[in-house]
Amino acid sequence: MSSYVGLAALAAALSSAASAQADIAAQATTAVSAAEVAEIVVTAQKRSESLQKVPLAITAITASELERSGIRDLQGVAATVPGLNLGEQLGVAKITLRGIGLESLQPGAEGSIAFHVDGIFISRSVAALASFYDIQQVEVLRGPQGTLYGRNATGGSINITTRGPTEELSGYASLTAGNYNQIVAEGAVGGAIIPDVLSARVAFQTQDHDGYGKNVVTGNEIDDLNSRAIRGSLRFTPNDRLTVDLKADYYRRSDHSGGYHYLGGGAFSAPGVPITPFGLTLFGGQAPSNRRDLANNVDPTNRVRFWGASGRISYELSDEIDLVSLTAYRKLKYQTLSDIDSTSAPIAPIYQAEQDRQFSQEFQITGNHDRLNWLVGLFYFNENDRGQLAIPFDNFAFFPPPTNYLTQGYWGGGFIKTKAMAVFGQATYKLSDVLRLTVGGRYSTEKKRALDQFLFDVATPFDASTPANLVLQPPAGTISQPGSERFNSFTPRIALDYQVTPDVLLYASWSKGFKSGTYSLGTLSPPVNPEKVSAFEGGMKSTLFDRRVRLNLAGFYYKYSDLQVGKVEDQSTVLENAATATIYGLEAELQVRPVERVRIDANAAWLHARFDEYVSRDLARPFGDGTTLINGNPAFNLAGNTLSQSPNFTFFAGAQYTLPTGAGDFTLRGEISYRDRSYLTAFNVPYLSQPSFAKLNAFLNWTSVGEKISGSLFVRNITNKTTVSSAYVSSGLFGFPINGYLEEPRTYGATIRYAF
């Protein structure tokens, strides 16, 4: 509670400071000074409003901020958002926000952070790793968003808005070249086809770079990138009341990224007795001497393709009431290949594949009256997701000695068909000129029908002529278990905000979040229970000292029940319900324009994310903690452990200085990000963690007179830190190797851009 007392004291002090300088601000000229922090408009509550007037913890990253720091993906965004962490495993994004995120990589797994593009919910986490291009704004809503967003938003929501068509001819072209033979080309062009009636925009991006490491067995590069993307949009405005926006996009990636990196033995089969992976002992294989490299008998592959189309129809029923319809269809397919034993021995490749199609329809009616803003809506979602995880392996563990040929091994997969419906509403009423009350709620019902399929076959030879990552048909002998379950929930929200001065807002809220139960395909286990959270949040949003300072603070307290936690058991990742977890913390975001040419931006987050009750087995340490049992089996009492990917403290700061010249403006910018130790599993063992680290970036940006041409020289991760984004202990069948993924090494290069 002392943290909240400190927050309240700081808010009161800043409110007093704001009042003291209000008279000065009132006498200021109405012209916008170049030394002011710019106002940001967000759509977090599904209507356009100032960031500083929304009683939510939101980070908004504008197009200009993305460009100045060369941010093209969620990894770049993560450092600039308090409490946001991003990992990766087999090409799937593991997004964590305030300690809550994706815990399973089994086919059909879903995260707890909702991901939206142009208002459309994107179910599959693999799509979140696609690159950004022609982006208008990125908004990250922290905390449960159960009322307006609902599905899979117990931890928060990431909303990406792309640029739409304009009446005037406009666009840009840019080219980036860097080390590792990086080449990124992107551009867009748009304008009116029929003035004031029909306009269009087309944008594209290509990305290529060589590998950050190599497979020392084959000599080929790994962790390279080859992607292509295109998006088209049309805007039809036949009259002043009706607007129709149509968008379609396509993305494909095909390279040798996403392979497991060998991070050592480290696991213990008995107290104090380390296990060396069998690929290095029984098979006499090798492991790479450099973490960036692999020593695999096969090269990793990563193939992703998805496309989608959406339509947004907005109609003004009256001057105060609008009707909006959002319709979308999306299709995705991805295939990955890696080596789960992480050595050069031919023991166990791992194939993962998924095919998904989703349809969604949302209707919204919004009203804007004198003292009341309101929104009611209906949401429908239909998804058919089919996936598999296949691990053919040498059967030496069952029929020694090593045979040097693969058997069918493990195959797990099936399908999950989801139908979700929701009705929701929210209203904000002005109790007075400075006090507003917001009340909202959402009723969700979700039915999942699954076919869970499993095979463990150590006798039948694996047919390498039909690799498992290219087909989604189960092998002969597969055990199938059908299942069906319905999950219902009501998630309310209530918030109160007080406009202390025109530039200082205080707010407090209580809300609930819900993530439906689901199946872990390939495990033949019953569905986990829904994940639920009750959340309290309070904060302050302020713009101080003649709009030269923007300071936003937030404090939060969460109580989770039936938290869905993933862990490795044998060859698969199993979801199970932790009993309860408590999460609380403080966050701060700061922007300062002390003088016209200088800009400083920073954020910091302190997070306490702990299990209250959680007992689980760790097959890499089968003797448990010596006192805890589950069904008579040794286990660990994890109460008090930190949730995975939840560092206690994170910090980011950027500073820049702009020098005007006759050739244009030159801006020198530096950035530093710091992240405390992150445990990568709930067991909180040191060998499955990333120790604290700091990273440095530097930029020299230039904008020509007239602002049509711009350029940038950049260096990211200046000190070339090698950091782990996710890791786990693999199966005991292979000697418990530790597999993981690494963040990018030092990269540098130059960008030139022309806008019109």
Residue-by-residue DSSP string for 565-602: EEEEETTEEEEEEEEEEEEEEEEEEEEE-SSTTEEEEE
Nearest to 83 by CA among 608, 744, 611: 608
d(CA 217, CA 296): 6
d(CA 216, CA 570): 28
Give the rounded distance of the alpha carbon of 194 from its chain centre.
39
d(CA 599, CA 550): 11
The per-residue DSSP string of 684-745 comes to --GGGEE--EEEEEEEEEEE-TTSSEEEEEEEESTT----EEEEEE--GGGT--EEEEE---
Choice between 91 and 309, residue whose per-residue pLDDT is larger: 309
* Predicted structure pTM score: 0.91
Architecture of domain 2-260+298-597: Beta Barrel (2.40)
- Report whether pLDDT(215) > 80: yes
Q: What is the pLDDT of residues 21-38, one digit of tens each?
A: 434 333 333 334 567 898
With beta carbons less than 8 A apart as the criterion, state whether 309 and 301 touch: no
- Report whether pLDDT(11) > 60: no
pLDDT at 622: 85
Q: What is the pLDDT of residues 650-675, one digit of tens each?
A: 999 999 999 999 999 999 999 999 99
With beta carbons less than 8 A apart as the criterion, state whether 105 and 90 touch: yes
Confidence of residue 736 (pLDDT cuts 50, 70, 90): confident
- Dihedral over alpha carbons 427, 428, 431, 435 (to 10 degrees): 150
d(CA 346, CA 216): 14
Q: Which amino acid is at 330?
A: R
d(CA 81, CA 74): 10
Task: Say what percent of the chain tops pLDDT 90.
Answer: 72
pLDDT at 380: 98
Q: How far is CA 45 from CA 302, 382, 426, 495, in A?
A: 36, 24, 9, 13
SS3 of residue 21 by DSSP: helix
With beta carbons less than 8 A apart as the criterion, state whether 141 and 156 touch: yes
Q: How far is CA 521 from CA 354, 526, 527, in A?
A: 12, 10, 10
Dihedral sign of CA atoms 160, 207, 231, 357 in order? negative
Confidence of residue 2 (pLDDT cuts 50, 70, 90): very low
Arithmetic mean of pLDDT over the chain: 90
- Report whether pLDDT(159) > 70: yes
pLDDT at 271: 59
The per-residue DSSP string of 412-464 comes to EEEEEEEEEEEEEEEEEEESSSSEEEEEEEEEEEEEEEEEEEEEEEEEEEP-T
- Report whether pLDDT(472) > 80: no
With beta carbons less than 8 A apart as the criterion, state whether 484 and 450 touch: yes
Nearest to 723 by CA among 277, 287, 263, 295: 263
- Report whether pLDDT(182) > 90: yes
- Report whether pLDDT(460) > 50: yes
d(CA 61, CA 503): 21
Q: Which residues of 674-685 are buried (b: 16+ CB within 10 A; e: fewer)?
A: bbbebbbbbbbb
pLDDT at 571: 66
pLDDT at 133: 95
List, in sequence order, every residue forming a beta bridge with 640; answer none if it has no partner. Answer: none
d(CA 531, CA 487): 11
With beta carbons less than 8 A apart as the criterion, state whether 342 and 730 touch: yes
- Report whether pLDDT(474) > 90: no
With beta carbons less than 8 A apart as the criterion, state whether 254 and 303 touch: yes
Secondary structure of 656-690 in the HEC alphabet? EEEEEECCEEEEEEEEEEEECCEECCCCCCHHHEE
pLDDT at 475: 86
Dihedral sign of CA atoms 146, 148, 153, 157 in order? negative
d(CA 114, CA 93): 12
With beta carbons less than 8 A apart as the criterion, state whether 246 and 311 touch: yes
**Cα 442–447–450 angle (5° rounding)?**
150
Q: 117 is written with which tokens? A: 């593009």
Confidence of residue 570 (pLDDT cuts 50, 70, 90): low
d(CA 745, CA 722): 6
Rg (CA), the chain: 26
Q: What is the pLDDT of residues 533-558, one digit of tens each?
A: 999 999 999 999 999 999 999 999 99
Q: 327 is written with which tokens? A: 């319709």
Q: What is the pLDDT of residues 342-366, one digit of tens each?
A: 899 999 999 999 999 999 999 999 9
Task: Say what percent of the chain tops pLDDT 70.
Answer: 93
Residue ranges covered by each domain of the chain: 2-260+298-597
Q: Which amino acid is at 677?
A: R
Choice between 393 and 554, residue whose per-residue pLDDT is larger: 554
The burial of 339, by beta-carbon neighbours within 10 Å (0-12 exposed, 13-18 middle, 19 or more buried), is given as buried
**In residues, how long is the chain?**
756
How many other C-beta atoms are found inside a 10 Å radius of the C-beta of residue 463? Answer: 12
Confidence of residue 106 (pLDDT cuts 50, 70, 90): confident
Confidence of residue 139 (pLDDT cuts 50, 70, 90): very high
pLDDT at 328: 98
Least confident of 146-155, 461-470, 689-698: 461-470
Least confident of 129-143, 295-309, 464-478: 464-478
**Cα 592–596–599 angle (5° rounding)?**
35
With beta carbons less than 8 A apart as the criterion, state whether 710 and 730 touch: no
